[in-house]
Amino acid sequence: MSANEDKITAWFASQSKAPEELFPIGIGDDMAQVTLAEGASVLITTDMLLDGVHFDLGRASLQQVGYKAMAASLSDCAAMATVPVAAVVSVALGKGFSSEELKKLHAGITRAADIYHCHLIGGDITSWKGDEPLVINVSMLSRPGACEPVKRSGAKAGDVICVTGTLGGSLEGKHLEFVPRVNEAIQIATMVKINAMIDISDGLSTDLNRICSQSGVGALIMQNAIPISDAAKQKDDPVSAAMNDGEDFELLFTLAPAEYEKLVEQWKLPLAITKIGTIDETNKIKMMRPDSQVEELKPGGYDHL
């Protein structure tokens, strides 16, 4: 494909005629928001996972696939600090797929859903004519929590940039069994004012670029500060792994320095929150190396196209 994912998404967004008063958040964020009668609103996200791309049935169990599909959408709910409500799941099954196998997939779906009191309320089961690969699509509804949904586009110059957990090497195993940061996101957004947030699905370099470009700001990251996972430390270039591997499903967010101080003081959950840099007024993302040299950082994460 000639255009990359973010370019084509921007083109789709430019074609939208959805009126902002009814659809306050549209194409290009982690979820879209729909305002209903009586002032209530609901958010929706959709994610398609493919055998051979997002998982490999030679190495992952059907139970893990069901779990991962749900957890990826739950992570989108987390990215906006919203509360998961319900999901519908579509599957395309190879010809020989048995009802017992379908029940294993279902067990994985409900294992993830039950943790967050998110209900499976519908779906669509269809079959390939031959042995084409398994496809699973999850569309999930959430509702705003104690605050308005946190968008990607609200980062401000001077904001502290934080990540949860550790980054990189997810393909070594974490990508099948990660814990979506639903509860932590709601907790953070209840304690302090978050200006922008995203879940790191395609790599820190790519997802930070999304926050910056959608907010019209730049950023300076301290390489030394990046929390590198044990799996990434085993790789040839641990920093590059932490920046670009993707599927970390950790939270990346920005907030004013005073709010950051408050968060650090009040944060009691076991998940680490690490300050990795600062938002600035440039339109570039830079990384300061341990030798204090500053280099420009290009998105090097996963592009779906």
Out of 44, 191, 222, 271, point to the residue binding a second copy (CB under 8 A): 44
User: Closest by alpha carbon to 138, among 176, 83, 181, 86?
Assistant: 86
Name residues whose C-beta falls within 8 Å of residue 196's C-beta, 6 or more positions apart in sequence.
Answer: 150, 151, 152, 153, 154, 155, 159, 211, 214, 215, 253, 254
Minimal distance in Å, beta carbon 125 to a second copy? 6
Is residue 125 close enough to count as binding a second copy by CB under 8 A? yes
* 127 or 224: CB nearest a second copy: 127
Out of 20, 21, 38, 170, point to the residue binding a second copy (CB under 8 A): 38
Is residue 60 close enough to count as binding a second copy by CB under 8 A? no
User: Which range of residues in 22-30, 185-193, 229-237, 247-255 is near a second copy by CB under 8 A?
Assistant: 22-30
d(C-alpha 305, C-alpha 136), whole Å: 18
User: Which range of residues in 37-45, 168-176, 274-282, 285-293 is near a second copy by CB under 8 A?
Assistant: 37-45
User: Which range of residues in 27-35, 146-154, 158-166, 233-241 is near a second copy by CB under 8 A?
Assistant: 27-35
Which ranges in 29-129 belong to alpha helices (H)?
A: 62-79, 99-115
Binding mask 89-118 for a second copy (x = CB under 8 A): xxxxx---xxx--xx--x---x---x----
The backbone torsions φ and ψ at residue 138, rounded to the nearest 5 degrees and listed phi first, read -115, 130
Which ranges in the chain belong to alpha helices (H)?
A: 5-15, 62-79, 99-115, 174-177, 182-191, 204-215, 230-233, 238-244, 257-266
Out of 81, 112, 141, 287, point to the residue binding a second copy (CB under 8 A): 141
Minimal distance in Å, beta carbon 189 to a second copy? 18
Q: Is the dihedral of CA 102, 104, 108, 114 positive or negative?
A: positive
Given strand 119-127, what is the order of strands in its sheet?
32-35, 41-50, 135-144, 82-93, 119-127
Burial classification of residue 15, based on how many CB atoms lie within 10 Å of its CB (0-12 exposed, 13-18 middle, 19 or more buried): exposed
Minimal distance in Å, beta carbon 37 to a second copy? 5
The backbone torsions φ and ψ at residue 249, rounded to the nearest 5 degrees and listed phi first, read 55, 35
Out of 46, 63, 240, 274, point to the residue binding a second copy (CB under 8 A): 46
* 1 or 293: CB nearest a second copy: 1
Minimal distance in Å, beta carbon 78 to a second copy? 16
Is residue 283 close enough to count as binding a second copy by CB under 8 A? no
Is residue 265 close enough to count as binding a second copy by CB under 8 A? no
Is residue 9 close enough to count as binding a second copy by CB under 8 A? yes
Is residue 268 close enough to count as binding a second copy by CB under 8 A? no
